[in-house]
Chains A and B, each alone.
Chain A
Amino acid sequence: MICREVKRVVYFFLDGSLGPNKKQDFDKHLKLCPDCDARTKLHERLRAFLKRRVTNLSSAAPDHLKTRLTRSIRAFRNEWSAR
């Protein structure tokens, strides 16, 4: 595996979706190539950063929405059963 290929598949490596042979080649390359090793770790950290921060940004659905959903589902149900 050459550096260029490592760059092509690095995300799929991190997703755990490389086949066993490719994965082995990838691991082997990282042991020999500090550049690719560092970049792989950086991708990993960027992903963790994003996940953490976007999750923090997320808020629970507002209560009024939940009420609205439940209400409209039930209204819909009643409408249906009335038919």
Chain B
Amino acid sequence: MKTAVANEHEQGWDFERAAMPYVDSLYNTAYRMTRNSEDAEDLVQETYLKAYKYYDKFEEGTNFKAWLFKIMKNTFINNYRKKKLTPHKIDFSEIEESYERVIQKNAPDLIKDPETEIFQDMMDEDVKRALDSLPHDYKMVVLLADIEGFSYKEIAEILDCPVGTVMSRLYRGRKMLERTLLEYARKYGYIRGEAEPAKMRSRKDEAKPRKKKDGAGDEPEAQEPEENEEAVLFTGTEDEEFEFEVEETEEEQFEVE
């Protein structure tokens, strides 16, 4: 029969074996959250200590990596909520509109040669800057989904929010990020030239910002389905679903589409 101390030891080694393989993933995500290596290291250390402390609470058979990420996200919120990031204002109709502008201007060249790597020459600095231009919550879902490969459900679990919120943030985060990449690409000459309107037909009607209530008369059939889709895809508003937000003001913006 083992003593409590021996059990403790065993569990410790077990934890190290289980947790250390994820240190790179956690560190890189921590770095993107805090944007500096010192804070990132502290965040990872705190995460590991907490995870170790609560290791017996981890449910066997669930995703251990997601569990670690969840602890890290909670730690981050607790530590940094007070410091408060600069609140971002997001005008989503503006995003949709400018996305359309950008894609019409820039995409035809990209679409012409699908074999070449896009923005091959884009500098790391610009990739980093584009990522950092995303508001924190949007950056998180994009990183968790597109870099770390978590499923919607796992991300919802990590971030303590409904799957619908994950999906709507992903939609918008990806869109904002693509727009920024395309803008940089053009600005810094990674892609060339004005678009030829012939290749990508004008999408004037679709590029319009979301309707204002007083303009109710125009284009009724184009707008109607969009509202329905929104309802189907993104159930619930973000506001009510989040108890601890890093940037509350941003959440308020969400409603204003």
Query: Which residues of A are in contact with B by a Cβ distance under 8 Å?
Result: 2-5, 7-9, 11-12, 15, 17, 35, 38-39, 41-43, 45-47, 49-51, 53-62, 65-66, 68-70, 72-74, 76-77, 80-81
Known pairs A47-B146, A49-B119, A61-B23; A35 contacts B49 (CB<8 A): no
CB <8 Å contact, A8 and B53? no
Interface size class of B (residues with CB under 8 A): 35 or more
- Identify which of residues 34-60 in chain B touch chain A, using a CB-to-CB cut-off of 8 Å: 37, 41, 44-45, 48-49, 52-53
- Identify which of residues 83-109 in chain B touch chain A, using a CB-to-CB cut-off of 8 Å: 103, 107
Q: Which residues of B contact A2 (CB under 8 A)?
A: 225
User: Is B1 part of the contact surface with A, judged by Cβ < 8 Å?
Assistant: no
* Most interface-central of B107, B127, B152 (chain A CB within 10 A): B127
Q: Which residues of B contact A57 (CB under 8 A)?
A: 124, 127-128
User: In the complex, how many angstroms separate the beta carbon of A51 from the nearest chain B beta carbon?
Assistant: 6
Q: How far is the CA of A17 from the CA of B53 in the complex (A)?
A: 36
CB <8 Å contact, A76 and B111? no
CB <8 Å contact, A3 and B206? yes
Q: Which residues of B contact A42 (CB under 8 A)?
A: 103, 107, 110-111
CB <8 Å contact, B45 and A77? no
Query: Which residues of B are in contact with A by a Cβ distance under 8 Å?
Result: 4-5, 8-9, 12, 15-16, 20, 23-24, 26-28, 37, 41, 44-45, 48-49, 52-53, 103, 107, 110-111, 114, 117-119, 122, 124, 127-128, 131, 143, 145-147, 152, 167, 170-171, 174, 177-178, 181-182, 200-201, 203, 206, 222, 225-226, 229-230, 233
Known pairs A4-B225, A42-B110; A68 contacts B41 (CB<8 A): yes
CB <8 Å contact, A45 and B53? no
- Interface residue from A7, A12, A47, A51 paired with B206 (Cβ < 8 Å): A7
Q: Which residues of B contact A46 (CB under 8 A)?
A: 118, 178, 181-182
Top 7 nearest A-B pairs (CB, nearest first) are A61-B27, A58-B28, A77-B12, A81-B5, A61-B23, A38-B111, A53-B127
Q: Which residues of A contact B146 (CB under 8 A)?
A: 47, 50-51
CB <8 Å contact, B225 and A81? no
CB <8 Å contact, B41 and A65? yes
Q: How far is the CA of A57 from the CA of B29 in the complex (A)?
A: 11
Given contact pairs A38-B107, A69-B45, enumerate 7 new A-B contacts (beta carbons under 8 Å).
A5-B229, A35-B200, A41-B111, A45-B114, A54-B143, A60-B24, A65-B41
